[in-house]
Amino acid sequence: MRALHFDGTTASLIDAAEPQRADGDAVIDVTLAGVCNTDLELTKGYMGFTGILGHELVGVVADGPAEWRGRRVVAEINFACGGCEWCARGLGRHCPTRRVMGILRADGAFAEQVAVPVANLHAVPDGVADEAAVFVEPLAAAFEILEQVRVEPGQSCIVLGDGKLGLLAAQVLHAAGADVLAVGKHAGKLAHLARRGVRTVRLDEWVRERAALVVEATGSAAGFEMAVAATEPRGTLVLKSTVAHGAPLNLAPLVIDEITVVGSRCGPFAPALAALASGAVDVGALISARRRLRDGVAAVQQAAQPGVIKVLLEP
């Protein structure tokens, strides 16, 4: 089958063997897959990954238990062991022996087919189109904020970064009743949020007020110190970016202002699917391009261009 593979140096299209279905797995025919910033990082060496890329998908179960075959599904990306103390606590996303689809010791969804544990499947409600369902994984990562931090109605909140995750986090916090100010560099991206009723400002016009809750989704090392400066004393900074590798950082303000930094990664799929079904979050405007998998290398490069939001791949 056709697949977009990273060999540790180069991403290229290969003819891969079809995935083997192990016990407890399902094989999914991929309908659509989304390119994520993490994919771009992986192709720069992040996590030392080699294999088929891709961890955002919607598809149809081709092989697996009878009750799942033919159903339209999305799939959680952390493949947990199911038997350790973390899994017993419901924290399979932190299972120490987990594999992660397209990120850690598991092939991903930039392919015609992908194998995932049946336990990771979620059926897509009829009212949610494929073009929306493919956003469930990053939207769940935005909902993770609500799982980790108490958000009061009307609470002022600053979201830094107008990339995919920033745009989703701002919508999720807005839908949760927070008074969100989204700060970004791209007028076009911010316009999507403004149409949803979110207050927005361009970084170069921002007066740098502070808030008790700040979400750092800039994807840049400089974003962290900007986010710290935007967080009120005793406030909470939710850290979403993973790219601040080895940058010189001054942590003294965290101590002086007693700021709490909450590292935040993957999140729950159920509320993300519900928000897509209800229309509480809109993702349609976030699709910049829809490309064929055979053009996958160019599509990943396109996803890295300024102004581009989400690039979708279809086998």
Query: Which residues lie near its own copies (CB under 8 A)?
Result: 86, 91, 94, 96, 144, 148, 224, 233-234, 239-265
Pairing of strands 231-239, 211-216: parallel
Task: Say how far apart CA 225 and CA 248 lie, in whole Å.
Answer: 10
CB of 147 to its own copies, least distance (A): 10
CB of 109 to its own copies, least distance (A): 20
Other Cβ atoms within 10 Å of 156 Cβ, number: 17
CB of 263 to its own copies, least distance (A): 4
The residue among 96 and 279 lying less far from its own copies, judged by its C-beta, is 96
Task: Say how far apart CA 256 and CA 249 lie, in whole Å.
Answer: 15
Give the dihedral sign, CA 261/307/44/46. positive
Question: What does residue 178 show for φ and ψ, rounded to 5 degrees?
Answer: -75, 155
The residue among 254 and 297 lying less far from its own copies, judged by its C-beta, is 254
The residue among 144 and 162 lying less far from its own copies, judged by its C-beta, is 144
For residue 104, the cross-strand partners are 100
Task: Say how far apart CA 158 and CA 210 lie, in whole Å.
Answer: 8
The residue among 74 and 165 lying less far from its own copies, judged by its C-beta, is 165
The residue among 92 and 296 lying less far from its own copies, judged by its C-beta, is 92
CB of 108 to its own copies, least distance (A): 17
CB of 80 to its own copies, least distance (A): 12
